Amino acid sequence: MILELKNICKSFHQPRSGRIEVLNQINFSLDAGETTAVTGQSGSGKTTLLSLIAGLDNPDTGQILLQGEDLCSMNEDRLSRYRAMKIGVIFQQFHLMPHLSARENISLPLEILKQQHIPDRVDGMLINIGLQDRQHHLPGQLSGGECQRVAIARALIIKPALLLADEPTGNLDIKTGEKIAGLLFDLVKKENKTLILVTHNPDLAGQCQTTLKLKQGRLKQDQLEQKNPARENPA
C-alpha cells in the first residue's frame, strides 16, 4: 500500500454560515501503480481532498500516510521537501514559472533538490513529452497543450511516489485534452506511478482503474472502490 487516508475530516469556517464540513470521515487506500479518479459535483470536496493528499493543507482529524509516513505530523519545511521528493502535482492552470523556459521549468524541482545528472534527465523527459524543439521557449510562447506537457514533465521528473492531477485537461480543448490525457496515462504506466486525478470529465475518469465519488464531503460506501471495467484488465 502506498497511500492510506484514515478518518479524514475537514471543515472551514464561513463568516455567515458558520462551520461547513467539507470532508467527513474519508477512508481509502491505494497501491503502488494504481490510477484513481476523484469525481463529484462542484463543492463536493474534490479539491480539498487533493490538497490534503498533496500536503498543501492539514485535515482537522485523521491521518494521511504516504509510504507509511504521516504527512499531518510534518512541519512546513519538512513537508515541503517531502512533497518535492515524493509527490508530483499537475494543476489545471499549469502554473509554470513565466520567466523560465520549458527546459528550465522541468529542471527546476531537481535544482531545488540539488540532484545529480540534471541535463540528462531533462533531455530524457523532453523526449518523453515530445518538446525537444520547443525546450527553450518561454511558457508565454507555448500553446496550452504544450504548457500542460511541461507541467506533467515537471511533476514526473522527480520520480514521485504519488502523482496528483487537478483537472489536467480542464483548460484545454477536447482534442488537445485527449492528447494530454493519453500522454499522462502513457507516462504513468511507463514509469509505474500512482495517480490520483480530480476531474469532472467522465471519459477521463473512465481511463483510471478506480473512481472515488464524493458527495457532500463523503465517499459513498457503494461507490467507494468502483472498478472501471475498461481499465480492470488494461492489456
Q: Which stretch binds another protein (CB under 8 A): 29-37, 52-60, 205-213, 221-229?
A: 52-60
**Residue 35 Cα to chain centre, angstroms:** 11
Residue among 178, 115, 119, 191 at smallest CA distance from 145: 178
DSSP labels, 85-139: HHEEEE-TT----TTS-HHHHHHHHHHHTT-S-HHHHHHHHHHHHT-GGGTT--G
The nearest distance, CB 75 to another protein, in angstroms, is 10
In the complex with another protein, which residue's Cβ is closer, 77 or 120?
77
User: Which of 103, 134, 149, 154 lies at the binding interface for another protein (CB under 8 A)?
Assistant: 154
Contact between 34 and 188 under an 8 Å Cβ cutoff? The reply is no
In the complex with another protein, which residue's Cβ is closer, 102 or 209?
102
In the complex with another protein, which residue's Cβ is closer, 83 or 134?
83
Residues 78-137 that bind another protein (CB under 8 A): 80-81, 83-85, 89, 91, 93, 95-100, 108-109, 111-113
Residue 178: other Cβ atoms inside 10 A: 14
Is 51 near another protein (CB under 8 A)? yes
In the complex with another protein, which residue's Cβ is closer, 72 or 108?
108
The nearest distance, CB 119 to another protein, in angstroms, is 15
Task: Give the separation between CA 129 and CA 147, rounded to whole angstroms.
Answer: 11
